A = this chain, B = another copy of it.
């Protein structure tokens, strides 16, 4: 009898504790509650919460806990219950050229330099204008939202158009204004492209979703004085610089011939290596260059799909991680991939390095998932805002279905499932900055019919003008 009484008292105390923020039945009003059968937080304190939920107000995560506790504490005008789903941070696509979706499948199975010089550059010179970039970026945003990407790092012509489209689609992005030594769409050469880049950065500097950046193309297309000038400006303005570095062995040879140094050493010599530099590809750094990247706090975005397709090689990802280099993942543009599917890049990263190094223990699932979320956020300098589900971070979240799918059965380990089995088609809901961009697999912020019509119209023009390589 005493035992029963004690139990009842304990239960009463517990219930008080659980309901504490809502004593007297008053729940706190929030904008959105999202739940999940598994909440994968990427936070070391509580990596996976079973039957968890998140309360979101003004785009911020204000509470993370069990579903019971969250629904006891809060009421929300919108709910994404996520039963039978994984709730997790949205994926971060650390390197892409969104508008190049319009070149998807135009030229395959040829070498990078031939691809660039005989296919992509001529096609760009002829067809890339503001209209092309608007449509191509809309198409890319549609594809990225559909596949659970919530942040991307872009680098393409007409950055102002990219920024406006991204804003409309509701995605978060770092958008690099391209600067290059030779003529490019809209510009005669370095001087006018660099002036426009500075203006672009000033215009977008304080946007909620867009981080402007300057994007010199590569050490082999931008001379060192210009690289240094761009680097200096980005540091003055407090924005990132993005650049392609050490993508092919050919590039390493060319930079060595021209400057007597390997690409990363070349950048070091001009004082360009710093923590706000985001480099893409980095397939051929040697041990000394890897040390330099780690010491200077430079970030690397790994693009396995593009590096395989263009036969650039295997980036030394395990070695770079071991050295402490900040590492994220990217799709590169759809012209060399041929899609913007981060789940494929995750799987490729988890698979190819094991095969290449003949070691099945390198890049275990959890490490790769981190590169696509919190690690990616650290690499692009946004880890204070995104990449994990913790109180105070922005609500960039996705829900991934794990029921009614053959490939999700059985489910022994949710991290293994996310890395080795999930497909982009499993993503159900996508939220960025607290705003629902996709609900029940319907993308809400892109006029898909209009984009399809315009993409087809443009592709017919391109197809008529260019003989595909097939």
Q: Which chain A residues have a beta carbon within 8 Å of chain B's beta carbons?
A: 101-102, 104-106, 108-112, 115, 139-140, 142-143, 146, 249, 305, 307-314, 337-341, 344, 347-348, 350-352, 354-361, 363-366, 403-404, 406-407, 409-413, 415-417, 420-421, 423-425, 448, 451-452, 455-456, 458-459, 462-463, 468, 470
A122 CB → nearest B CB, Å? 15
Q: Which of B104, B111, B356, B416 contacts A361 (CB 8 A)?
A: B111
With A108-B365, A108-B413, A338-B421 given, name 5 new contacts (CB 8 A). A104-B412, A105-B417, A355-B356, A410-B455, A415-B470
Can you list 6 A-B contacts with CB-CB less than 8 angstroms, sorted by A residue number?
A109-B363, A313-B358, A348-B348, A410-B455, A412-B463, A412-B468
**A139, B109: Cβ atoms under 8 Å?**
no
Q: A416-B470, A470-B415 in contact; A410/B456 too (CB < 8 A)?
A: yes
**A344, B341: Cβ atoms under 8 Å?**
no
For A140, the chain B residues whose CB sits under 8 A away are: 406
Q: Which of B249, B341, B463 contacts A407 (CB 8 A)?
A: B341
Residue of B nearest to A307 (CB): B355
Give the CA-CA distance A310 to B351 in the complex, in Å: 9
A258 CB → nearest B CB, Å? 22
For A340, the chain B residues whose CB sits under 8 A away are: 407
Give the CA-CA distance A335 to B453 in the complex, in Å: 42
For A421, the chain B residues whose CB sits under 8 A away are: 104-105, 338-339
For A348, the chain B residues whose CB sits under 8 A away are: 348, 351
**A409, B104: Cβ atoms under 8 Å?**
yes
A364 CB → nearest B CB, Å? 4
Copies in the complex: 2
For A337, the chain B residues whose CB sits under 8 A away are: 420
For A470, the chain B residues whose CB sits under 8 A away are: 365-366, 413, 415-416
Give the CA-CA distance A357 to B448 in the complex, in Å: 39
Give the CA-CA distance A417 to B104 in the complex, in Å: 9
Q: Which of B108, B344, B360, B448 contacts A311 (CB 8 A)?
A: B360
Q: A112-B360, A360-B310 in contact; A459/B139 too (CB < 8 A)?
A: no
Residue of B nearest to A101 (CB): B409
Q: Which of B105, B355, B463 contacts A420 (CB 8 A)?
A: B105
Residue of B nearest to A283 (CB): B355
For A305, the chain B residues whose CB sits under 8 A away are: 351
Give the CA-CA distance A127 to B160 in the complex, in Å: 60
Q: Which of B102, B311, B344, B365 contacts A109 (CB 8 A)?
A: B365
Give the CA-CA distance A413 to B335 in the complex, in Å: 13
**A355, B311: Cβ atoms under 8 Å?**
yes
Q: Which of B359, B361, B413, B462 contacts A105 (CB 8 A)?
A: B413
**A108, B364: Cβ atoms under 8 Å?**
yes
Q: A413-B468, A416-B470 in contact; A356/B356 too (CB < 8 A)?
A: yes
Residue of B nearest to A305 (CB): B351
For A365, the chain B residues whose CB sits under 8 A away are: 108-109, 470
Give the CA-CA distance A110 to B425 in the complex, in Å: 28
Q: A338-B421, A407-B341, A423-B423 in contact; A412/B311 too (CB < 8 A)?
A: no
For A406, the chain B residues whose CB sits under 8 A away are: 101, 139-140, 142-143, 146, 448
Residue of B nearest to A416 (CB): B105
Residue of B nearest to A354 (CB): B311
**B309, A351: Cβ atoms under 8 Å?**
yes
